[in-house]
Structure 1
Amino acid sequence: MNILIEWIYKSPKGAETVFRSEEMPAAQAILVAEDLARTGRTKNVLFIDQFDSTWTVKEMKGYLKGIETEPHNITVYFDGGFDLTTRKSGLGCVIYYEQSGKSYRLRQNAPSAELSSNNEAEYAALYLGLQELEHLNVHHLPVRFIGDSQVVINQLTGEWPALENNLSNWADRIEDKLKDLSIQPEYKLVQRKLNSEADRLATQALNGVSITATSEVTVD
């Protein structure tokens, strides 16, 4: 969770002005806010999230403490593929998250014979990611969704209209699931080479290889 810090600075002669920081991770913001407090020249320190909600230092500490043992700092990569010859699809998603001080990577794929286009497979892959988040009991959190489909990303951000009924229906399903889980989505479009893990999972699903795995991510 990234936030801004806003505070009032009071000079030794009593002049006051308002400062606002750049965006930074919430844990880092708490350290900065505590350091500001030690100067004795700040007051009304507030944190501001991406939805313009404000938090006191105490509230933010309580929030971070509460999610410590639950999955958080979540990023979902998704990709879908459609084979015109077999009329079958492969879906793949990779979820990175933190929990209890450790980092994890969840990989999941699935085949489908019920879709009719590559764009529909891309939507279904994102929905697969949402189902996995539901299994992880993720709720009331911001989540970043990353994919290489211009159609899906631009339609879900509202930049492009969803004119095809089947794609519009998928967009509605995704919006409903996000609402049910109280997830605040952030969408990012990347080049295909930066989405290789999810792409590989989708291809494996098309080839009949099933993947379900969660592993700890360690930093050397």
Structure 2
Amino acid sequence: MKIRIEWTYKTPKGEETVFISEEMLAIKGLLIAEDLERTGRAKNIMFIDKFDSMWTIKELKGYLKGIETEPHNITVYFDGGFDRGTNSSGLGCVIYYDQSGKSYRLRRNAAMENLVSNNEAEYAALHLSLLELEHLNVHHLPVRFFGDSNVVINQMSGDWPESILSGWAERIDGKLQDLGIQAEFELVPRKANAEADRLATQALKGIEIIATSEMTTEL
């Protein structure tokens, strides 16, 4: 979760002004806020999330402690492919998340029949990623979704009018609400979505992949 810090600064002579920081990760913001608090000149320290909800230091500490052993800091990439010759679809999603001090990558794909277009396959891939988040027991957390489909990203962001595939959008919105997920959708170039695209292609070829691996940082 990303937040901004808002606090009142008071000089020794009693002059006051309010500062608001740039956006940063919650854990970093908490460290800075605690340091500000120790100066004795920062008052009324609050955190503001992307939904303009206000958090106290105590509330943010409790939130971060509560999610430490659960998946958090979640990023999802999704992609769908459609073969007109066989009317079959391949779905792929990659989920990055942190849990218990470690970082993980989950890869999942699936073949699907009875879809009618590449756009529908893209929606189905996004829905597949939500089912995986549900299996991970992700709930009431912010999640960033990245895809290369203008149709899906713009409609899920509310920037496009309803279409013949709006039923998928409603189904996805329903699942997001059930899980309490605060979704943020972002369009990325196909190159940046290569891993999810590869999973979708493998699904079209009958290669099923369900794998979770720990991410390591090489020095």
Alignment length (residue pairs): 218
Could you say which residue in structure 1 is the equivalent of 2:168?
170
Matches within 5 A, 1:1-220: 1-164=1-164, 167-220=165-218
Cα distance in 2 between the residues matched to 1:184 and 1:210 = 29
Q: Deviations over 1:51-101 (max 9, x none)?
A: 111110011001000000000000010000001111000000000000000
Q: Deviations over 1:146-176 (max 9, x none)?
A: 0000000001111111221xx1110000000
| Matched position secondary structure for 1:80 | strand
Cα distance in 2 between the residues matched to 1:58 and 1:154 = 37
Cα distance in 2 between the residues matched to 1:9 and 1:74 = 34
Identity across the alignment (%) = 72
CA RMSD in angstroms, aligned pairs only: 0.5
Cα distance in 2 between the residues matched to 1:48 and 1:141 = 15
Letter in 1 for 2:189: Q
Letter in 2 for 1:139: H
Higher mean Cα deviation, 37-46 or 102-111?
Answer: 37-46
Which blocks of at least 5 consecutive residues in structure 1 are unaligned?
none
Cα distance in 1 between the residues matched to 2:120 and 2:152 = 9
Higher mean Cα deviation, 209-218 or 30-39?
Answer: 30-39
Which blocks of at least 5 consecutive residues in structure 2 are unaligned?
none
Cα distance in 1 between the residues matched to 2:114 and 2:85 = 14
Letter in 2 for 1:50: K
Letter in 1 for 2:79: D
Superposition misfits of 4+ residues, deviation over 6 angstroms: none
Superposition TM-score, scaled by structure 2 size = 0.99
Q: Deviations over 1:122-159 (max 9, x none)?
A: 00000000000000000000000000000000011111
Superposition TM-score, scaled by structure 1 size = 0.98
| Matched position secondary structure for 1:125 | helix
Cα distance in 1 between the residues matched to 2:162 and 2:85 = 26
| Matched position secondary structure for 2:114 | coil
